[in-house]
Structure 1
């Protein structure tokens, strides 16, 4: 009788040798080799000689890293998995800048780039950035009966034709303003079809949803793109019911190869694309969606907008140092923080204005007084932090999640007159806990490495304060710590999950420019190899 086939015994381990391994372990920061056990964890780390000896003794398969720089897999602290997956596969892609006269023509061109169509039933959805002098009439002639929506403004605005406005339930003649809304109107006071922030609630909560099968299909594509960027762990920043169901199914099928931390949307409803009551109930049921690679202990709030023209929907400070509440999307952030902090759920709160950041820190401070041993929370983006508030991040055990990395050094940032300032030197001087995110939403790739070369060289008070090693830690172990999973993830140490990457440059030396991920491993399995 034949022996039972098993891959769980120790001789199914793999020994990796001859690497330049940056472990992110402060006790032993460098190694040359390691062994990955059949359970997908590191079971030995050391020199090539030490690991080769063990490999011979245990008759292990050996993998030669050939001197490549190896480090833990990247933790992307801010992605929008479902939004990105749908955008890159199933929605028309447009040039960043459009005009009212060419938008219909570009839409027709962009539709040819869609891999999948009709995923939102008969709606035509596209992604751009802005449309100068937009009026819905520019789309009505070309699309008289088809509802058309163009996502813009880094996801914070939309451009609709007349059919879409009516289908979503807007009153073109008399739609009222509300808390955090931003409608563009013509000289007669009628809606032009351009809107931002809370104005999009009716639109995005009524937009027909893709089928569950399609969501699973495109999430697999998004996962591959993340692996190509060296990402093995993410914080999903706008989780809803459809996404959690799909992730749970993919994990049950054994095809989810990504540590996924789902921040379930509390508010606003438009980013969750579901009514508030549904989203709040989903947070209450979060534990039911937890699985091997899906951690659901997280909540998301977008508190204000963006400091981008023509909207400038960020919440700044009033003359007396208080938050400008007219720009807030919700006014009960203190109540929400207290509620979920008491449950031990980490909150990620989007803040881009000085006022929104201060108000959020005030809410976290109140929660710490009521619950001193509560979870570590975080502020997303951190591009608008007043000088008086940097020190509060460490004092309150709050993570400074810096994103989108694409904007760290960018013409738009430079032209913002200080409204967009990802100030790593000030954060480090305040000893803040820092993570980095791509804020991947509709772009082609969430590649973090090309964005970090200039950051590694940033200076403060004449001295270099950042470098490759600090950034590598922000990209790995700091993310695991922010999630409360530093005992499982984030460094190459015995007992931790074997999620790691090989790169063609030495990132520890700040060589981020033109760096490329060569191979990505997830729990010891190769999930991406550069052709």
Structure 2
């Protein structure tokens, strides 16, 4: 007999994500890696006197999910410390929640929370509404984040702490939104949001301790949804240090690929090569600083996404096609520098114009160098049909955002700004997959939704419908994927996109034993019920890192 396994799981319906053997009934784990996947007899051959054996009781088992785009510090801070708001909450509900939350705080404590839906934010450009926010907070400073995480709503006390007054000029790349009389409303767009975040950060006694707690909370939250690997989408030094400390203590129950911003954006701190050098010293087996983050444009809700055609007329707005933050030559130079450093690049590009610029730069990079660095377009929402096949041609991954590709609050706001034809053709996943592109999903938590729950995103890849009946209809339904393709977008595809496909995203001998036990078989239910899926157990490197207290009976421990 081969050396005994530490763990054998049998009696399951195991979706391996291995095309050579898609289904199995048992697996064996030794030293955190899979040593056998197949029949019960194949796995039980590894059973020894000290082997733990679990009977899955017919439950579906699949690879641990991979979140290809998440903000651990922001999401974990929201979960651990901040006022929770739903993007569907209306203004009166938000103000009421602020009043309740503020009542338990000291007179100078900040009220920080989210998510404010874009449709609500659209209606806040009125100084009279700012006065209501001031009253609700009882004079305490307020900082609320929207569902794009690009914009904020603050009150008068916060504006004063930011040093912003009626005569303040807008910052480069941002805006202090004013009403028709020129009065500040407290709404902040893009880089103006960074000033609010910096003012709040100055109020924190121990920023690193808070970050440590936030990041640990984020990892626990991801594990509870079955996520065992992730790409941190904009990694500042504090988050990197928190992850490295967790790994050093043995408490990091996920594999995390980092993406360091090359220019200042929404969080204060080191960026560029200073940050890259600092974070490189923190590399571990699980903490992998392998990417940079490049922001090409803004978001469509504030008309800062770079489009090939103009935004809708009306709303008193000036004609615009959005903003592009990089010239082609500058972007090519930055990508060549990434290649010299051996780093991939995650590029935020929400518009068809910004996506085209990334593809143009990628084409020049591939033609002018021998570089094979990994490139991703994050939020490939609007893609011109001529550019769809170019993703595969120049080897650029489409990093997609589950909570935006079906009818929702965000889509309602986008539809107010972007021409209907462009909205109706958005998120062309079917076309991208058929063209040979790698399509990978990432929650973008805490953007768009209050949790990183992947099951809604997986369902809506197949249905293009919102499970919430308040948002009827479909969004570009011809772009639906099959269930198998949707699962790949949450497992093997992001693993390959992150450079960890040899160890994660599949259940095969030699891979890390990252797997999850579900409360239902995804292949035997109506796809419109996938969002209700619950993870009963999450294993990372063969260790049980999450167990649903209501689902213990689904995986009974047996004596060998």
Check the 8 A contact 1:250/1:256 in 2, yes or no: yes
- Report the equivalent of 2:546: 528
**Aligned counterparts, 1:61-460, within 5 A:** 61-94=52-85, 96=87, 104-111=95-102, 122-127=109-114, 128-129=116-117, 130-131=120-121, 132-133=123-124, 134-135=126-127, 136-141=130-135, 143=137, 146-176=140-170, 178=172, 180-208=173-201, 209=204, 211-270=207-266, 273-275=267-269, 277-308=270-301, 311-317=302-308, 327-331=323-327, 332-403=330-401, 405-412=402-409, 415=412, 416=415, 417=420, 418-419=422-423, 421-441=426-446, 443-457=449-463
Offset, 1:192: 2.4
Show CA shifts across 1:274-316 (max 9, x none).
24x54541123332111121111111122222222xx222110
Counterpart secondary structure, 1:155 = coil
- Report the equivalent of 2:503: 488
Structure 1 pair 175/99, CA: closer, same or farther in 2 (3 Å)? farther
Offset, 1:95: 5.1
Query: Equivalents in 1 of 2:246, 2:460: separation in Å?
Result: 37
Check the 8 A contact 1:241/1:279 in 2, yes or no: no
Offset, 1:422: 1.6
- Report the equivalent of 2:38: 46
Extract unaligned runs of 5+ from structure 2. 311-319, 465-473, 550-560
Offset, 1:327: 1.2
Query: Equivalents in 2 of 1:253, 1:514: separation in Å?
Result: 34
Check the 8 A contact 2:237/2:278 in 1, yes or no: no
Check the 8 A contact 1:124/1:148 in 2, yes or no: yes
Show CA shifts across 1:176-210 (max 9, x none).
453x3233113443432211112223223443255
Extract unaligned runs of 5+ from structure 1. 1-8
Query: Equivalents in 2 of 1:399, 1:436: separation in Å?
Result: 10
Check the 8 A contact 1:150/1:158 in 2, yes or no: yes
Which 10-residue stretch deviates more, 136-145 or 327-336? Answer: 136-145
Show CA shifts across 1:484-507 (max 9, x none).
121111111111110001112223
Offset, 1:10: 4.6
Asked which structure has the greater RCO (Cα within 8 Å, sep 6+), the reply is 2
Query: Equivalents in 2 of 1:466, 1:139: separation in Å?
Result: 43
Counterpart secondary structure, 1:238 = coil
Q: Normalising by structure 1, what TM-score?
A: 0.87
Counterpart secondary structure, 2:546 = strand
Structural RMSD (CA) = 3.0
Q: Normalising by structure 2, what TM-score?
A: 0.83
- Report the equivalent of 1:505: 520
Query: Equivalents in 2 of 1:464, 1:77: separation in Å?
Result: 20
Query: Equivalents in 2 of 1:357, 1:16: separation in Å?
Result: 44
Query: Equivalents in 1 of 2:492, 2:23: separation in Å?
Result: 15
Structure 1 pair 220/10, CA: closer, same or farther in 2 (3 Å)? farther
Offset, 1:400: 0.6
Query: Equivalents in 1 of 2:251, 2:386: separation in Å?
Result: 46
Check the 8 A contact 1:22/1:508 in 2, yes or no: no
Offset, 1:236: 0.8
Query: Equivalents in 1 of 2:5, 2:26: separation in Å?
Result: 17
Structure 1 pair 463/436, CA: closer, same or farther in 2 (3 Å)? closer
Check the 8 A contact 2:262/2:271 in 1, yes or no: no
Structure 1 pair 140/376, CA: closer, same or farther in 2 (3 Å)? same
Counterpart secondary structure, 2:47 = helix
Query: Equivalents in 2 of 1:264, 1:47: separation in Å?
Result: 43
Which 10-residue stretch deviates more, 169-178 or 374-383? Answer: 169-178
- Report the equivalent of 1:518: 536
